A and B are shown apart, each in its own frame.
Chain A
Amino acid sequence: MAELLQVSNLSVTFPGSSGRVTVVDDISFTMQAGEVLSLVGESGCGKSLTALAIMRLVPKPGRIETASRIRLEGQELMDLAVPDMRRVRGEQIAMIFQEPMSALNPVQAVGPQVVEALRLHERITSREARARVEELFERVGIPDPRKRFESYPHQLSGGLKQRVMIAMAVSMRPRLLIADEPTTALDVTVQAQIIELLRELQSTLGTSVLLITHDLGVVNELADRVLMMYAGRTIEAGLREQILSRPRHPYTHGLLRSIPARAARGQRLAEISGVVPSPEHWPSGCRFAPRCSERLEVCTKQVPESLELDATHSVCCHAVAASLAEGAP
Chain B
Amino acid sequence: MVWLSNGAVVVVLALASLAGIAVRRNPLWHDAMRRLARRRPITLMALSVFGLIALLDSVCWVGGETGPGSGDAVAAYEARSLLDRWFEPESFRERSYSAPFAAEEFYGAAPLEHPGEHWLGTDVLGRDVFFLTLKGFRVALLIGGFTSLIVIPIALAFGIAAGYFGGRVDDAVFFLISTLASIPSLLLLIALIMVLGRGTTQVCIALGITSWVSLARLVRAETFRLRELDYVEAARALGVSEFQIILRHILPNLAHLVVITFVLLFSSMVLAETILAYLGVGVDGSWGQMIDRAKDEFSRDPVVWWNLSAASAALFALLLSVNLLGDALRDVLDPRTLREL
Contact = CB atoms under 8 A, between A and B. Distances in A.
Interface stretch (A10-18, A93-101, A279-287): A93-101
A55 B27 CA distance: 35
Interface string B216-249: 0000000000001111011111111100000011
B339 interface: yes
B41 interface: no
B236 A88 contact: no
B230 A97 contact: yes
What band does the interface of chain B fall in when counting residues whose beta carbon is under 8 Å from A?
20 to 34
Contact of B249 (A105, A109, A154, A168): A105
Given A91-B239, A105-B252, A165 B234 contact: yes
Nearest to B240: A120
Contacts of B249: 105
A120 B239 contact: yes
Interface residues of A, number: 32
Nearest to A86: B239
A20 interface: no
B239 A103 contact: no
A90 interface: yes
B166 A60 contact: yes
A120 B234 contact: no
A226 B304 CA distance: 90
B236 A103 contact: no
A116 B229 CA distance: 18
Contacts, number: 75
Given A60-B166, A102-B230, A107-B252, A154 B341 contact: yes
A120 B253 CA distance: 21
B301 interface: no
B155 to A, nearest CB: 20
B238 A90 contact: yes
B338 interface: yes
Interface string A111-149: 000001100110000000000000000000000000000
A26 to B, nearest CB: 24
A150 to B, nearest CB: 8
* Most chain B beta-carbon contacts within 10 A, residue among A55, A99, A103, A154: A103
- Chain B interface SS verdict (over half): helix
A117 B237 contact: no
B239 A88 contact: yes
B295 to A, nearest CB: 49
A107 B28 contact: yes
Interface string B158-169: 000000001100
A250 B234 CA distance: 36
A121 B230 contact: no
Interface string A6-43: 00000000000000000000000000000000000000
Given A60-B166, A91-B239, A121-B239, A97 B253 contact: no
Contact of A57 (B228, B236, B248, B255): B236
Given A99-B230, A154-B339, A106 B237 contact: no
A95 B234 contact: yes
Interface of B: 27-28, 166-167, 228-231, 233-241, 248-249, 252-253, 255, 335, 338-341
Interface of A: 55, 57, 59-60, 86-91, 94-95, 97, 99, 102-109, 116-117, 120-121, 150, 152-154, 165, 168
Given A57-B233, A108-B248, A120-B238, 8 more contacts: A60-B167, A90-B239, A90-B240, A97-B234, A105-B252, A106-B339, A153-B339, A168-B238
The list of the 4 closest CB pairs from A to B, nearest first, reads: A90-B239, A89-B239, A90-B238, A95-B237
27 contacts: A60-B166, A86-B239, A86-B241, A87-B239, A88-B239, A89-B236, A89-B238, A89-B239, A90-B237, A95-B234, A97-B230, A102-B229, A102-B230, A103-B233, A104-B231, A105-B235, A106-B335, A106-B338, A107-B28, A107-B338, A108-B248, A109-B27, A116-B248, A117-B238, A120-B240, A152-B28, A154-B339
